[in-house]
Structure 1
Amino acid sequence: MEFLQQNWHWAALAAFSGTWLLIEAVRAKADKSLLSPIEATLLINREDAVVIDVREDGEYNKGHIPNARHIPLKDLERRKGELDKLRDRPLILCCASGARSAGAIAALKKSGFEKLFNLRGGLYEWEKAGQPVDRGRNKDKGKKK
């Protein structure tokens, strides 16, 4: 008890952190658009989902999900037309950690896209789960933008 009295600020921080983690875990379970790497793989294999990688060129060239289409977040608005033919297919958006892809999902929802999913944890979690990564060059680099 004396320890808690002398270190109350650490105990409060621990309680706050634990509560925050619990809230985030519940929120993540409720959000059906967040996919684990395994769930993403199943969606790709079962429903022909397309992975859209919204990272910058340098990040993409260092490694990406095989067959992922590369549309950097900064170019998404300008290049949305490239995705129109994919409106009926599930789209899995991916970045390094899941933050930029969440922004891309919001932008695509405003344009009427419905089957949108975010790779939870991004490429970091994908690699951590032992999923394949293509280390080849950017296939979209030569395409007219």
Structure 2
Amino acid sequence: MFRTFYILLIITLFSFSSCKNKEDRELVEWVEKGALVLDVRTPDEYEKRHFPGAVNIPIDSLPLRSDELGPKDRQIILYCQSGGGRSQRAKSLLEEKGFSHIRNAGGIDHLFSVISSE
């Protein structure tokens, strides 16, 4: 009984780990292919540090500026400061507007670590 439990636990943990690696690999591929990297933080946060080539459209401005993002099937990578609320809200908002190829990279530190580790 316990042996089966531990085997299932190991398989589950491995599955989550593989999933994350797949998501991270996809982010790297998208950046390499020229996806739009969208920083949804404030202009002050953007000025202090941002991902190279990222476009800054703060989350509060995004509903009015989504037409600046180009075609609805364009690959878009979103990030914010910590990866919690803003980038996830931006993803939901853009999906509601019909954008179909969106990835939430989470926080800026995560995006930098994924890209620099490749």
* TM-score between both structures, scaled by the size of structure 1: 0.60
* Unpaired segments ≥5 residues, structure 2: 1-11
Alignment partner, residue 111 of structure 1:
97
Paired residues in the alignment total 101
Q: Which runs of 4+ in 1 moved over 4 A?
A: none
1:112-136 deviation digits (Å, cap 9, x = unpaired): 000000003x1122344573xxxxx
Counterpart in 1 of 2:32?
Answer: 45
Q: Which amino acid counterpart does residue 60 of structure 1 have in structure 2?
A: Y
Structure with more of its chain in strand, by fraction: 2
Indicate the RMSD between aligned Cα atoms, in angstroms.
Answer: 2.6
- Whichever of the two has the greater Rg, that structure is 1
- Asked if the contact 2:46/2:56 (under 8 Å) is kept, the reply is yes
Report deviation, 1:59. 0.7
TM-score by length of 2: 0.72
Q: Is the 8 A contact 2:28 2:114 kept in 1?
A: no
Aligned match of 2:4: none
Q: Which segments of 5 or more consecutive residues in structure 1 lack a partner in the other structure?
A: 1-21, 132-145
Percent of aligned pairs with the same residue?
34
C-alpha distance in 1 between matches for 2:35 and 2:71: 9
Compared CA separation, residues 129 and 108, structure 1 to 2 (3 A): closer
